[in-house]
Amino acid sequence: DAGVIQSPRHEVTEMGQEVTLRCKPISGHDYLFWYRQTMMRGLELLIYFNNNVPIDDSGMPEDRFSAKMPNASFSTLKIQPSEPRDSAVYFCASSGLANEQFFGPGTRLTVL
């Protein structure tokens, strides 16, 4: 198995632009999580899905953030418009029956 796949690995954009991060979970996993990691706040859960349905989005910082999971093998996290304080590493993770979470390599986002 290829593990959790995220793209792009690095993204540099200017303030006000739309940013879309992508994730492909491990095949057969029914839970998908989006996390954000910063030096100041550590790892924070943004939103998670079960069987493609959003279960808890209370960690999404603002309405500028949105996430979708149109099918079991794909999810997106969108930021529109982006701001410099959104700069962070965004991780996607998935889990199956045993609830062991496996993380992707992350997307390092820099908003200028």
Residues that bind another protein (CB under 8 A): 31, 33, 42-43, 45, 48, 50, 55-56, 91, 93, 95, 98-106
CB of 13 to another protein, least distance (A): 20
Q: Alpha carbon of 26 to those of 6, 65, 107: distances in Å?
A: 11, 24, 17
CB of 16 to another protein, least distance (A): 27
In the bound state with another protein, the residue whose beta carbon lies nearer, of 47 and 79, is 47
In the bound state with another protein, the residue whose beta carbon lies nearer, of 31 and 74, is 31
Separation of alpha carbons 94 and 30, rounded Å: 7
In the bound state with another protein, the residue whose beta carbon lies nearer, of 42 and 70, is 42
Handedness of CA 70, 75, 68, 96 (dihedral sign): positive
Chain position carrying tokens 């029956």: 97
SS3 of 30, please?
coil
CB of 80 to another protein, least distance (A): 24
CB of 48 to another protein, least distance (A): 6
CB neighbours (10 Å) of residue 23?
A: 25
